[in-house]
Amino acid sequence: MAGQLKEVRNRIKSVQSTQQITKAMKMVSAAKLRRAQDAIIQMRPYARKLQELLSNIVSNTESGTGMSLAMERPVEKVLLIVITSDRGLAGAFNANVIKLAKATIAERYSAQHKKGNITIWAIGKKGYEHFLKNNYKTDATYKDIFLHLAYENVQQASQAAMKAFEEKQFDVVEIVYSQFKNAATQKFEVERFLPIPKAANKAGAAKADFIFDPSKEELVAELMPRILNTQLYKAVLDSNASEHGARMTAMDKASENANEMLRSLRISYNRARQAAITTELTEIVSGAAALQG
């Protein structure tokens, strides 16, 4: 009986220690989330407007000089930029991004995958480790971007993707990431990066009419890379905020589960202690009765 009590006490101490860790991680993630949330909220309207501008320019500009990044061609080679996190303990965050990337390959690019023409640039160690382990053609060049999250580091990845597309190493580039909604909600997205998608033509919508100064070719050639850099940076910021939100929510749930376990263990401990006391009293009473007899 004493051994059972000691075992329950040890389990209680273990759960309490774990709960302290989960509460601390929740507080750290909450602090990081505030900064990450501010960054993506400030970036999102700017990035959205730039993306609309770029799509409208592409839609209303004939293919030619400076339009190589919008050139549609038969899809033989595909690049997926998959954005996960460097660390786990974030619920199903990384698993959902990876699952969406695999579903995209299966649904859109199964023929290219069979030919070995799917390449994955992993941003975040978790995605890189998974795809490498599962024998996907994976590039580790940009997996450590979150160690020093800065526009310049993301810009290197986007410029490399643009260069590879222009050199026809890839015919299409997609970004797979998590769009931040709030601390408890993320929306997992596949977003076309290259070729630049045209704006959707809505019935009755007026055609955008731009006046270019300097020439259209000069502006397009200058604007396209800048806007694409911003697009990838926004996706990285979205994923960063989503990761911290997911981890904060996961640690909050873990702390609640620890409370439930502690309540159950304390009930078990009290029952065992009461049983031990009852057994001792019974032995005393039996011994006294034997002496009297």
Residue 175: CATH number of its domain: 3.40.1380.10
Task: Work out the number of other CB atoms within 10 angstroms of the CB of residue 204.
Answer: 4
Residue 24 lies in a domain: yes
The CA–CA distances, whole Å, from 61 to 56, 65, 70, 138 equal: 8, 10, 10, 35
Say how far apart CA 15 and CA 17 lie, in whole Å. 5
First to last CA, the chain: 29
Residue 79: inside a domain: yes
**Within a domain: 193:** yes
Residue 237 within a domain: yes
Residue 63 CB coordination number (10 Å): 11
Exposure pattern of 93-124 as b/e (b: 16+ CB <10 Å)? bbebbbebbbebbeeebeebbeeebbbbbbbb
What residues make up the domain containing 113? Answer: 20-199+209-251
Query: Can you tell me the distance from the alpha carbon of 156 to that of 151, in angstroms, rounded to the nearest whole number?
Result: 9
pLDDT of residue 292: 75
Q: What is the rounded CA–CA span in Å between residue 72 and residue 63?
A: 10
What three-state secondary structure class fits 257? helix
Q: Does residue 62 form part of some domain?
A: yes
pLDDT at residue number 95: 96
Helix, coil or strand: residue 177: strand
Q: Write the CA distances from 17 to 3, 14, 215, 255, 258, integer angstroms.
A: 21, 5, 66, 11, 10
What's the confidence (pLDDT) of residue 204?
47
Closest CA to 241 of 51, 48, 29: 29
pLDDT given for residue 104 in this prediction: 96
Indicate whether 286 belongs to any domain.
no
Q: Which residues of the chain have pLDDT under 70?
A: 1-2, 60-66, 199-210, 212, 216, 293
| Number of domains within the chain | 1
Rounded distance, CA 85 to CA 243, Å? 7
Distance CA 95, CA 74 (A): 31
Here the tokens at position 29 are: 């993630």
Exposure string for 259-274, b = 16+ CB within 10 A, e = fewer: eebeeebeebbeebee
pLDDT at 209: 63
pLDDT in tens, 139-172: 999 999 999 999 999 999 999 999 999 999 999 9
DSSP secondary structure letter of residue 87? -
- Asked if residue 277 is part of any domain, the answer here is no
245 token code pair: 């939100």
pTM of the model: 0.84
Residue 122 contacts residue 201 (beta carbons within 8 Å): no
Q: Is residue 107 part of a domain?
A: yes
So what's the pLDDT on residue 65?
47
